Amino acid sequence: MPHIINIQTFKESRGILTVLDSIVPFEIKRLFYIYSVDDSDRGGHRHHQTHQAAICIQGSCKITNNNSKVTELFHLDSPEKCLILLPEDWHVMHDFSADAILLVLASTAFDPKDYIYEPYDTI
């Protein structure tokens, strides 16, 4: 099941430090970020192997997730929230704020053969 984990954050007068060292439950092999999104949806796929962690480091966005049993909506609106996505999670990122930057950490290097573009029947 996808789930939100709270990221350890240290706030002080000099600024805010957020640490991702051991909170992500997989070895990070790739990272990418999405920004300057118009009204388009992003994602719209699931994976054979790749686990992902999504963090909206600025602004906000929503991620609709379906794992063939349950559809859930997650609102990422803080760099202190991390959404963990499993390979079987069909996910669509949408409703990006104008200033949104979505950072995604992945457990595998990019491989187009890992992507599944067919949603579950329940979507």
Which residues 6+ apart lie within 8 Å of 21 measured at CB?
none
What's 113's DSSP letter? Answer: G
Instruction: At 12, give phi and psi (nearest 5°).
Output: -155, 180
Annotated catalytic, 48? no
Catalytic residue among 45, 48, 51, 75: 45
Q: Cα–Cα distance between 50 and 112 in angstroms, integer?
A: 11
Q: Cα–Cα distance between 97 and 94 in angstroms, integer?
A: 9
- Residues annotated as part of the active site: 45
